[in-house]
Amino acid sequence: MGRFVKLVETVNTLDKRWVFLVVGAAVVISTIFRLTFPEIPTPMVRSIFEKIESLPAGSRVLLPFDYDPGSEPELQPMADAYVRHCAEKGLQLYFIALWPLGQNMVESTVSRVLNPEYPSFAYGRDYMNFGYKSGNEGVIAVILTDIKKLYTTDAQGANIDSIPMLAGISNIRGFDLILTASAGYPGLKEWIQYAGTPGNIPVAGGCTAVQAPLLYPYYPEQMVGLMGGIKAAAEYEALLLERYPKFRGDKDRFQTALTRMGPQTVTHLVIILFIVIGNVAFQILRRRRRQAQGA
Amino acid sequence: MRRALWIVVLGIILVALVTHALQGDMPNPFGSREGFGVWFAALLTLAILSFLYQDNPVYRFTEHLFVGVSAAYWMVMGFWSTLVPNLFGKLWPDLTARLFVPALKGTRDPRWFLYFIPLVFGGLLLMRLLPKGQHLSRWALAFILGTTAGLRLIAFLTADFMGQIQSTLVSVAGYRAALTPGGMPHWSFEQMFWDLVAVIAILAALAYFYFSKEHKGAFGKLSRVGVWVLMVTFGAGFGYTVMGRIALLVGRVEFLLRDWLRVL
């Protein structure tokens, strides 16, 4: 009995660095073994997928990349997945960034996804990059009425009037969908507040897991769908694999989020185990303390 | 003594890894810019993670480096992507085209003189850096605050206040508008049930924050339900936060294992 109480007391006063070590080991080991689990897409993710499926070829999609390398592990897999999906459908892609490093994330996506996988996609005809502009929600408010008031050049410094796919577009009301990847402020919330709701433009997108609970209230009336964190990215990849079998081959390229859900699941189990053990130890010690006080 | 031991152990590991890299099993830090970049990023990642053991000078150096580089990058991006095309390009298009962005040549805005206003305000904002005349920066700050407040108020009223009330009440009828073009709007009892749950949850949470009436009787029970609603919300938030943080850790571990150590 004395040994058991000592063990419980050790658990109760365990140095948190042991917890970090075990969580780290769980992540490393499950990453090495490439564990994957099946994903069942939720309605919020499925509605984004179906919205893109429903758009005819040539529809205009605005793709704000409002994140930076700090949230790349969560948002890049979903951005890759929906850019790939849009390209498969032959949609016209207009990239934009309200975060300074968002422009680099666009360039990275274009060089890793669009250029090698869709070599027929031409800049200026099938996709273009507005680049980064400072001003946060102010930028959205301006381009809701007039894009050229703010964007005189694209990200590469070319005159905006020289880009063929911008002919006939004066403001973002001309887009069929705004599909964002958002890591915070400014991001998806601002696109809903300053573009989607006042301009009656369909808005959908992905966000970091931390943001997701704050964005749920906008679904489904003010937002077509939401992808919250890496779990939703994995669901989107699962949908792509189901509808487009060509993506079933290269796991490293087409199933990034699905492979990252393996360590995620294992680590969650470890954390749940720690929570249970911690609570049991706490309750045992509390009961013994009360019994001692009663005696 | 303990610190010296740590330094020696880490030094040995580093030498072993560099030797391994020179044999071609890992990116060579001296062979190419890319190899150096991978090593630099990997060591900075480990330096940041070292904080989990305890605060140390290597962690603090990395943290300061990150903040400095981020601020500098933000400033450079702001200059080239906003100030040059949207201010200098509007005021002096030909000069800006000759010096910075050739595409701006011949794009004179008919109301170009209005852009002197942001130029002056921008200058006033920088007065904050001077020992005297700091108060002048308040004019620019007042403009920024006023504009932001005005913009946010309208957006909040339409999208959050009115939009959310409308979405909540309309949905109680169990009716969902078509989300996709060509899709059919639908109506269901299940939808109606969950929408009613949402409305009750909202009212209960609001009741908890209503302090003009004592939380007793039926109102007290409603506010008690509100506490549960808040707990569920915080729980969801916590769960999502854990998922987000682990996703970031998985990203770094993948980088270390695949790009640096090449064991994946």
**pLDDT computed for residue A221 by the predictor:** 84
Lowest mean pLDDT among A93-97, B96-100, B175-179, B210-214: B175-179
* Chain A residues in contact with B91 (beta carbon < 8 A): none
Mean pLDDT to the nearest integer, B176-185: 58
pLDDT tens digits, A120-141: 999 999 999 999 998 899 999 9
Min Cα distance B39 → chain A (Å) is 17
Provide, as residue numbers in chain B, all residues whose Cβ is less than 8 Å from the Cβ of A158.
103
Question: pLDDT grade, residue B184 (50/70/90)?
Answer: low
The answer to whether B257 contacts chain A (CB < 8 Å) is: yes
Query: CB B81 to CB A134 under 8 A?
Result: yes
B159 vs A222: CB contact, 8 Å cut-off? yes
Instruction: Please state, rounded to an integer, the average pLDDT across all residues of chain A.
Output: 93
With CA atoms as reference, report the closest residue to A206 among A182, A178, A170: A182
Q: What is the pLDDT of residues A235-256, one digit of tens each?
A: 999 999 999 999 998 888 999 9
Q: Which of A104, A149, A193, A260 to mutate: most B Cβ within 10 Å?
A: A193
Residue of B90, B156, B244 lying closest to A74 (CB–CB): B244
Strands (E), B141-261: 175-176, 186-187
Spatial CA neighbour of A185 closest among A213, A157, A161, A207: A207
E strands present in chain A: 60-66, 92-97, 127-132, 177-182, 203-207, 226-228
Report whether pLDDT(A152) > 70: yes
- B180 compared with B65, residue with greater pLDDT: B65
The pLDDT confidence band at residue B174, using thresholds 50, 70 and 90, is: low
Give the tens place of pLDDT for each residue, A191-235.
999 999 999 999 999 999 999 999 998 988 899 999 999 999 999
Query: Which chain B positions have a beta carbon within 8 Å of A131's beta carbon?
Result: 81
Distance CA B248, CA A68 (A): 12
Per-residue confidence at B104, pLDDT binned at 50, 70, 90? confident
The mean pLDDT value for A111-121 works out to 96
The pLDDT score that the predictor gives to residue B179 is 54
For residue B177, the model assigns a pLDDT of 63
CA distance, residue B244 to nearest chain A CA (Å): 5
Measure in Å the smallest separation between the Cα of B142 and chain A Cα atoms: 16
Assess B197–A contact: CB distance below 8 Å, yes or no.
no
Confidence of residue B46 (pLDDT cuts 50, 70, 90): very high
Residue A123 burial by CB count (10 A; 0-12/13-18/19+): exposed, middle or buried?
A: middle
Q: Residue B82: pLDDT band by 50, 70, 90 thresholds?
A: confident
- Whether B129 has its CB under 8 Å from any CB of chain A: the answer is no
With contact defined as beta carbons under 8 Å apart, do B137 and B125 qualify? yes
pLDDT at B143: 93
Beta-sheet strands, E only, within A67-150: 92-97, 127-132
Of the listed ranges A8-22, B24-38, B104-118, B226-240, the one predicted with least confidence: B104-118
Whole-number Å distance between alpha carbons of A93 and A151 = 16
Among candidates A71, A153, A267 on the partner chain, residue whose Cβ is nearest the Cβ of B104: A153
pLDDT > 80? residue B169: no
